[in-house]
Amino acid sequence: MQSEKIERIKYLVETLNRASKAYYAEDREIMSNREYDALYDELELLEQETGLVMADSPTVNIGYEAVEELPKERHESPMLSLGKTKSREELRDWLQGNPAIMSWKLDGLTIVLTYNDGKLAKAVTRGNGEIGEVITNNARTFKNLPLTISFSDELVLRGEAVISYPDFEKINGEIEDAEAKYKNPRNLCSGSVRQLNNEITAKRNVQFYAFSLVSAEGMDFHNSRQEQFDFLAEQGFQVVEHYKVTEENILETIDLFEKKIESYEIPSDGLVLTYEDIAYGQSLGRTAKFPRHSIAFKWADEVRETTLQEIEWSASRTGLINPVAIFEPVELEGTTVSRASVHNISILRALKLGIGDHITVYKANMIIPQIAENLTCSNTLEIPKVCPVCGGQTEIRQLNDVQTLYCVNEECPAKQIKAFTLFVSRDAMNIDGLSEATLEKLVDKGFIQEYADLFHLEQYREQIAEMEGFGEKSCQNLLDSIDKARETTLPRLVYALGIANIGVANAKMLCRYFDNDLTKMREADAETLSAVDGVGEVIATAFVEYMRDPRNVKKLENLLPELHIDIPRIDEGNQTLKDMSFVVTGSLNRFASRNDLKDLIEQRGGKVTGSVTNKTTGLINNDINSSSSKNKKAKELGVPILSEDEFLERYNIHV
């Protein structure tokens, strides 16, 4: 009965969310308000009866929160890796006549969850096996994770956070810049789970699959792994697909998994085999590296022989030039493959490559094409002495034991893309419609060579409208966004110039110090700039060097006539926070975001920094009793910890 209610809850959550998306995002109705309300009421009742509330249930509202850093925490017991084999027979022999549970080895990020009083209390990443990062706020946004469960005592379990292939492809498809695309679902998942702002995590559709119960206070599972899996499923967790195996059926079960992986939407790089008898598995102990109760089975890589046709040298916006092997196409894991990254000069030389060499290739984790071996080893390949983009000189740089190739030409168009990308970004000139991929096309066509050229793209309207991904409407939207960007502020402009070490906050401080007078700023020497609070010698020197460089002067002089810089009128009587410094952390109630509170403080003459020091006037944190590092530091230094309301009341600010 409980399992039926849980399945009904999951069905109602999915149905109601689909109806909400249709109504609010797609402007269509798939059910009446009355039907929706009835299903919603049923869901609320079932949640009360079972104690199960899913993270994506429409009855709960996940509060998004950005944190300054992810706290570290030591695991109660080390999270060891598993011993591995690629031999099916070896896997069967490992059983030694004992039954075991076989499941997917999912390729994501391992998470440890703790529930207390039926509520999710803590989520910690595996980290290095000894110490992980606390990502509780992010875990609350996992698509299929229960926030509350019926079991009220302490429950600790492990599982894998993953992003499905369809979600991975959808997210990557929205990224135009080829270099910015994620390499595989695991990388995307790892970055998503460890975000400082859990609103980003929520948008990534992270899923959680439980694969191991660590402890459940007061429960007796009759020495059975299968009973543990059943218990987790009864609590509403999505458990990893698993089957009970013996020496008699293990090979056919492996075949079953192998057939499924061709269409399985969740990334997996193998299987896991764990003794069904819990006590027996634990009695075997562990080696220095692996527990003996489990073993991992890795799929044997499908390897194909082919011929190396060329090495393509791919220049990036950082100046790094990566070698990419181009070879005669081969079929690997169901797809045609003709290229593979060689990563760096060290790997290239270790492979002793030459054009025409016979090589073997495979897909690492059945996903990423790699060169396995060079059968010829002609070692005739020459490292290019000039950049493939600009023809400038290259140099080989070595960091630790790794050699990489770089273009040393500062004017290389590949590098300029980075400068243009910063210039059009949200905190700078805020020009929509100019992704890195689009900027590369405009640079390649010669439409833009310096910042001012961006404001003359109207003359290329017809050519832009015919570019891939564009049309008349998107071209017009871009031109409108560029016109809108002409109205800007001095801090935005200073940040947009990309001067070394000058971020958004430093740009604002400089502009405030010089009363938003660009001429004064450009004429200031390093000593004057160093006196600005929060600037210092390094930033001051970088600013002066930038403003003294004739090339930069020319670009800035060409740019300024295109802009209208709005100079804010400062009400001296309103500068009630002048010379005060604040740190803001935790979630906010009175302000939509930290930036809103930051703007308010800056408008009143104060400044907001990222860390608590003896110069900090106050730490604004609604959770004044939290054990965060910032709270601890504030207490050590005697810095007042203020809630939003206390801050507003103390400084007589009305919002």
Residues designated catalytic: 105
One-letter amino acid identity for 12?
L
H or E element at residue 628: none
> What long-range pairs does 298-302 form, CB within 8 A, spacing at least 24?
298/84, 298/85, 298/86, 298/105, 298/269, 298/270, 299/86, 299/258, 299/261, 299/269, 299/270, 299/366, 300/86, 301/362, 301/363, 301/364, 301/366, 301/372, 302/332, 302/333, 302/362, 302/363, 302/366
How would you label 129-166 residue by residue, b for 16+ Cβ within 10 Å and e otherwise?
A: eeebbbbbbbbbbbbbbbbbbebeeebbbbbbbbbbbe
Selection from 527, 477, 505 nearest residue 607 by Cα: 505
Q: Show Cβ contacts of residue 132 under 8 Å, excluding neighbours closer than 6 positions.
A: 72, 73, 75, 79, 112, 124, 125, 126
Using alpha carbons, select from 223, 226, 219 the residue that is nearest to residue 240.
Answer: 226
3-state secondary structure of 60: coil
Indicate the Cα dihedral angle 382, 386, 387, 390, nearest 10°.
-150
Edge-to-edge strand ranges of the sheet holding 84-85: 84-85, 294-297, 268-275, 100-106, 242-245
What whole-number distance in Å separates Cα of residue 653 and Cα of residue 243?
63
Number of Cβ within a 10 Å radius of residue 127: 17
Strand segments, DSSP code E, in 366-489 are 368-374, 394-399, 402-407, 487-489
Query: Which of these, 136, 237, 239, lies nearest to 193 by C-alpha position?
Result: 136
CA distance 415 to 321: 11
Task: Decide: 447 and 459 in contact? Cβ < 8 Å.
Answer: no
- CA dist 164 and 80 (Å) reads 25
- If we measure between CA atoms, which residue out of 566, 552, 582 comes closest to residue 646? 582
Element (H, E) at 123: strand 119-125
Look-up: residue for tokens 């290019």?
Answer: 384
C-alpha to C-alpha distance for 311 and 192, rounded to whole angstroms? 33
The residue among 636, 634, 581, 622 whose CA lies nearest residue 604 is 581
Residue 444 to residue 164: CA distance in whole angstroms: 35
The structure tokens listed for 518 are 């660009």
Give yes or no for a contact between 327 and 307, defined as CB atoms under 8 angstroms apart. Answer: yes
Cα–Cα distances (Å) from 207 to 132, 135, 146, 253, in that order, read: 19, 14, 11, 25
**Residue 72 Cα to chain centre, angstroms:** 18
